[in-house]
């Protein structure tokens, strides 16, 4: 599953300057007295003890590194040869990954203005190593953790003390890593948060530095910038293109000196007959206000012949200001070619376009990069990229719908500079709502949707997600996960609808929620997205202990199955997805080991027999296959082998977040060497282009934000609220404790009662998710308060517990995603010590209900007897009011277990249909608080079996399901809390039979459970 690993692993170079010293010495504005030749030198650090060693958010110096051995040791050392004062900052280092140190300015104080100065300088003791030392500053943003990184370097090619001067004009914006993805990418220096140094890798050494200070006067070329409104300016043939230039200054002050821009149209792919050359000079006189604009106009000529797109670069020579980072290009749009004719069938458009493309262009279409990993925006055109993605937490700044649309439109504009102007297809992991976007409607995770067992509502949740995703300019969603989870130790259990393939298949209505019509005819609508069935195949069945990825224990491991088990359990949901017209499929990281095939474990990204043979040939899948995040890197062999193996196995688009240049170049080499066939490449590109045409991207590549106002709207949240309510599974309800009554005094406790981050789980705003107020929503506690109850809340149950009618303790897990959440990788299935204490305290003092907010069952063990009511709340999303709705009886509890609830971890894996089956609660279990529970005994059940059989024969599915559910409620009432192995097996089997349409058999299985109760 895509995610931004770089954001996890990159150095935390927070940075910055002495609050006490700078507050008194630095100017408060960028205005300078004209008579001053230069502002006075300003000391930043003298290292005489004025700056403490401390971590953010406090001000101070601190080291950092990629592991425990890499942070350098820092000390203030008295030195007789100190360039300034008596002490210097010194230290030792031995770095294998990355490491360095930071001076960070305290985040609770204002940033400082360095804009009046030419640069920053420092004394450095050289050792002649020849190694580079990176010097970095943070600029702009809310604080030192939400700012831009700008960097330069100097070389240790001398010995002894030397003063190093680093002009601000030498600093460049970091493209390999940005903590927030960039703010304005302008080094304004009016909001500076400090500095950091990155020390050399692979050498053991000592360092010493002294006297960090600001020097010189900023020249206008640093404080004034000429920008273009766009680096790419498309224009219809025969029309005039307008390139707009703007002069901007730091602090928005008027120009102190004139700025001139000489321009000339030169080079490019357009011929002299395609446009009228433009040349001249624009002048911004002294005194010109910041923000003033000028325009360069380039007329194009019409020749009436069909042509691909052609470029006309506009060369700019700027004096008195910093020039634009790129030469702007006028692009005369492609026109008159068959593939541009929307009236033609998609297959003809694809065939025409494919026939015109070079091998390099085709390879580019098969390449997908992470948006934050682009080394330059122009790489989209330079490498003919077909796709970008946002991994988990890879978002624009600010993280708003408008910023998303603006960001993606800017990327799409870059694609217009290619010969055929093939639009990008941008993808995100919107796995339970548009979960990367702050303020979006966050649905229950799939495990909760599985508990709801409501195909129509499942489709509605996907439709809401699709509408919110497409309204931000994103046409492609890496969802749904059709994994069949078979072991609750798996860290992505909550991404599955459940342990029964029949349950998963029943909820694949989500594909129509995402895409609309099965034939793809709705994909161009402004509320539809391309769906992705993942992870093909067997990701939910990996064997515990088989993973070789880092510290993972089960995720990305080996699925060991017979051919029959593979077909019945893991492959079954994919045929339904293909039949529903799913547009893309993503293979699993995991390996597949099929008993008797003689191959042993083989990574799914290399299994041509499954991808080409089963998915494409046997099942008839016509969409395209996209790899998972850098997954081909896990294949054995060198990189060229990884590329040819995966492409020859049937992968059409390869997600290579950071290696997009290497991948495209390698694929071209492999084709030219004959190791990857051109027909295979043409098939892959045809599949990708087909979906781009269906999505309407050639006609409308830019964001249609008409639906943006509905993001997080009351209507959308109403759908999520209902889904949260239906996902709640009532496991125990002694004495009818639930629903609560509004006149009861309720004591609420527990770690997950009032935490929106915990109840939304992983894949929420960031890949792993986080506790706390990560996004707007209603916590369970807030929902209960809005329901009108008389509540007292004490998170740790430390408040007095006397005088209450009932207690509600909301406990469970904190967020995680993928293998980071595997049991044995820092996780288990037991409640935390604090949660156990809260349950024990409250339930000893009063009648109590315990709600477990988690992505999988939790082991409750001997605490079950002390609990009057137990609810599996799963991960309900942002609408905690839905949980309150069932707690207070606004809606009845109707949810059923989508997975078996074990008694102990020793039982795992445990699933419906197992020969030995003795769980705490069986698959399909779920009590109800309906006002009237059906009554009856064996005779009633027999009558229901007869009626269910008749409904089955008549094809009356709704009637059949209703009859089986009536029988289930009768049997559950008979079983009560005496859930034994004898009743569990037939009870769970009945739910599987119901989902496979065998209604008569389902009731007969329930009769068996009734008799054994």
Which residues are known to be catalytic?
Answer: 628, 818
The residues with which 746 forms a beta bridge, in sequence order, are 791, 806
The distance of Cα 439 from the centroid of its chain, to the nearest Å, equals 15
Q: Decide if 230 contacts 326 (C-beta within 8 A).
A: no
Which single residue is written with the structure tokens 């998963």?
A: 504
**In this structure, what are the phi and psi dihedrals at residue 823, rounded to the nearest 5 degrees?**
-65, 135
Structure tokens, 215? 């020097």
Query: Which residues does 915 contact at the CB level (< 8 Å), separation at least 6?
Result: none
Query: Which residues does 260 contact at the CB level (< 8 Å), separation at least 6?
Result: 281, 282, 283, 284, 318, 319, 320
Q: How far is Cα 725 from Cα 292, in angstroms, rounded to an integer?
A: 55
Q: Where are the alpha helices (DSSP H) in 563-677?
A: 563-565, 572-579, 608, 639-648, 660-672
DSSP string, 672-713: HTTSS-HHHHHHHHHHHHHHHHHTTTTT--S--GGGGGGTT-
Q: How many other C-beta atoms lie within 10 A of the C-beta of residue 836?
A: 15
Q: How far is Cα 567 from Cα 561, in angstroms, rounded to an integer?
A: 10
**In this structure, what are the phi and psi dihedrals at residue 157, rounded to the nearest 5 degrees?**
-115, 30
Q: How far is Cα 615 from Cα 567, in angstroms, rounded to an integer?
A: 12
CA nearest to 386, candidates 649, 5, 701, 176? 701
DSSP at 567: I
Structure tokens, 786? 């809005």
Query: Which residues does 553 contact at the CB level (< 8 Å), separation at least 6?
Result: 489, 544, 545, 547, 819, 822, 823, 824, 825
Which single residue is written with the structure tokens 């409250």?
A: 842
Structure tokens, 556? 């990305």
Q: How far is Cα 1013 from Cα 1010, in angstroms, rounded to an integer?
A: 5
Q: Decide if 760 contacts 442 (C-beta within 8 A).
A: yes
DSSP at 324: P
CA nearest to 281, candidates 255, 305, 263, 303? 263
Q: How far is Cα 587 from Cα 581, in angstroms, rounded to an integer?
A: 17
The residues with which 89 forms a beta bridge, in sequence order, are 76, 209
Sheet strand arrangement including 224-228:
224-228, 240-249, 292-299
DSSP at 118: S
Q: How many other C-beta atoms lie within 10 A of the C-beta of residue 606?
A: 25
**H/E run at residue 875:** none
Q: Is 557 helix (H, G, I), strand (E, B) or coil?
A: coil
Q: Decide if 1012 contacts 974 (C-beta within 8 A).
A: no
DSSP at 818: G
Q: How far is Cα 539 from Cα 588, in angstroms, rounded to an integer?
A: 6
> What's the first-to-final CA gap in the chain, in angstroms?
44
Q: Decide if 429 contacts 532 (C-beta within 8 A).
A: no
**H/E run at residue 159:** strand 159-167
């Amino acid at each position: 599953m895509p995610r931004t690993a770089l954001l996890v692993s990159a150095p935390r170079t927070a940075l910055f300057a002495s609050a006490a010293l700078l507050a008194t010495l630095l100017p408060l504005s960028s205005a300078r007295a004209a008579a001053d030749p230069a502002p006075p030198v300003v000391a930043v650090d003298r290292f005489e003890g004025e700056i403490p060693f401390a971590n953010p958010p406090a001000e101070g110096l601190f080291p950092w590194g990629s592991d425990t051995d890499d942070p350098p040791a820092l000390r203030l050392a008295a030195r007789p040869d100190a360039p300034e004062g008596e002490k210097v900052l010194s230290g030792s280092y031995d770095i294998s990954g990355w490491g360095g140190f930071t001076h960070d300015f305290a985040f609770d104080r204002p940033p400082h203005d360095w804009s009046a100065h030419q640069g920053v300088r420092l004394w450095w003791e050289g050792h002649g190593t020849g190694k580079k030392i990176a010097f970095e500053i943070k600029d702009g943003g809310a604080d030192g953790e939400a700012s831009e990184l700008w960097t330069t370097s100097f070389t240790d090619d001398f010995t002894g003390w030397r003063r190093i001067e680093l002009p601000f004009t030498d600093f460049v914006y970091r493209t390999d890593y940005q903590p927030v993805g960039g703010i304005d990418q302008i080094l304004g220096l009016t909001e500076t948060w400090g500095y950091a140094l990155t020390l050399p890798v692979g050498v053991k050494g000592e360092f010493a530095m002294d006297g960090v200070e600001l020097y010189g006067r900023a020249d206008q070329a640093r404080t004034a910038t000429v920008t273009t409104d766009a680096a790419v300016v498309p224009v219809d043939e025969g029309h005039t293109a307008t390139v707009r230039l703007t002069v901007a200054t730091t602090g928005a002050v008027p120009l102190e000196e004139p700025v001139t821009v000489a321009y000339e149209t030169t080079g490019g792919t357009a011929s002299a007959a395609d446009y009228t050359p433009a040349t001249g000079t624009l002048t911004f006189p002294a005194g010109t206000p910041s923000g003033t604009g000028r325009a360069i106009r380039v007329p194009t000529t019409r020749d009436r012949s069909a042509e691909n797109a052609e470029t006309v670069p506009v060369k700019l020579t700027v004096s008195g200001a910093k020039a634009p980072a790129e030469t702007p290009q006028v692009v005369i749009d492609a026109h008159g070619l068959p593939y541009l004719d929307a009236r033609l069938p998609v297959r003809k458009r694809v065939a025409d376009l494919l026939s015109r493309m070079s091998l390099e262009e085709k390879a580019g279409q098969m390449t997908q990069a992470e948006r934050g990993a682009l080394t330059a925006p122009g790489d989209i055109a330079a490498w003919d990229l077909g796709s970008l993605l946002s991994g988990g937490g890879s978002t624009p700044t600010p993280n708003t719908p408008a910023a998303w649309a603006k960001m993606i439109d800017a990327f799409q504009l870059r694609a217009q500079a290619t010969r055929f102007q093939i639009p990008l297809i941008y993808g995100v992991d919107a796995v339970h709502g548009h979960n990367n976007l702050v303020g979006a409607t966050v649905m229950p995770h799939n495990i909760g949707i599985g508990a709801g067992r409501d195909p129509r509502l499942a489709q509605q949740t996907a439709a809401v997600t699709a509408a919110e995703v497409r309204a931000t300019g994103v046409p492609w969603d890496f969802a749904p996960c059709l994994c069949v989870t078979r072991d609750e130790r798996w860290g992505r259990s909550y991404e599955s609808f459940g342990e029964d393939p029949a349950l998963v298949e029943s909820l694949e209505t989500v594909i129509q929620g995402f895409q609309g019509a099965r034939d793809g005819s709705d994909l161009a609508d402004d509320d539809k997205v391309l769906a992705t069935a993942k992870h093909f195949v067997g990701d939910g069945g990996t064997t515990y202990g088989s993973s070789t990825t880092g510290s993972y224990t089960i995720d990305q491991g080996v699925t060991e199955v017979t051919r029959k088990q593979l077909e019945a359990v893991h492959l079954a949901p994919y045929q339904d997805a293909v039949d529903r017209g799913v547009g893309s499929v993503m293979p699993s990281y995991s390996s597949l080991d099929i008993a008797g095939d003689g191959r042993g474990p083989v990574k799914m990204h290399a299994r041509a027999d499954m991808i080409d043979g089963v998915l494409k040939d046997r099942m008839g899948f016509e969409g395209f296959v996209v790899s998972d995040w850098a997954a081909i890197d896990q294949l054995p062999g060198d990189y060229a082998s990884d590329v040819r193996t995966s492409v020859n196995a049937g992968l059409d688009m390869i997600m290579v977040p950071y290696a997009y240049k290497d991948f495209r170049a390698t694929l071209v080499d492999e084709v030219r060497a004959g190791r990857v066939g051109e027909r295979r490449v043409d098939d892959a590109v045809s599949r990708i282009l087909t979906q781009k045409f269906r999505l309407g991207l050639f006609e409308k590549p830019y964001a249609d934000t008409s639906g943006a106002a509905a993001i997080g709207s009351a209507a959308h949240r109403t759908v999520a609220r209902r889904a949260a309510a239906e996902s709640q599974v009532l496991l125990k309800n002694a004495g009818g404790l639930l629903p609560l009554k509004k006149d009861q005094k309720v004591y609420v406790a527990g770690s997950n009662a009032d935490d929106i981050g915990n109840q939304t789980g992983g894949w929420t705003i960031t890949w792993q998710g986080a506790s706390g107020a990560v996004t707007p929503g209603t916590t369970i506690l807030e929902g209960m308060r809005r329901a009108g109850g008389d509540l007292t809340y004490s998170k740790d149950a430390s408040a007095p517990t006397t005088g209450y009618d009932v207690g509600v303790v909301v406990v469970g897990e904190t967020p995680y995603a993928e293998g980071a959440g595997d049991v044995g990788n820092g996780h288990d299935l037991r409640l935390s010590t604090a949660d156990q204490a809260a349950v024990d305290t409250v339930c000893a003092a009063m009648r109590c209900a315990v709600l477990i907010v988690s992505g999988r069952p939790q082991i409750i063990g001997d605490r079950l007897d002390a609990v009057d009511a137990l609810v599996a709340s799963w991960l309900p999303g942002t609408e905690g009011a839905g949980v309150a709705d069932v707690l207070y009886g606004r809606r009845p509890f109707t949810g059923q277990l989508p997975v078996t609830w074990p008694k102990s971890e020793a039982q795992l894996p445990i699933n419906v249909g197992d020969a030995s089956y003795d769980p705490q609660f069986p698959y399909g279990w779920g009590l109800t608080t309906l006002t009237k529970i059906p009554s009856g005994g064996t005779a009633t059940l027999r009558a229901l079996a007869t009626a269910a059989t008749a409904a089955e024969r008549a094809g009356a599915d709704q009637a059949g399901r209703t009859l089986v559910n009536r029988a289930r409620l009768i049997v559950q009432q008979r079983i009560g809390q005496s859930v034994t192995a004898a009743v569990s097996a037939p009870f769970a089997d009945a739910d599987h039979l119901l989902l496979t349409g065998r209604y008569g058999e389902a009731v007969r299985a329930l009769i068996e459970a009734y008799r054994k109760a």
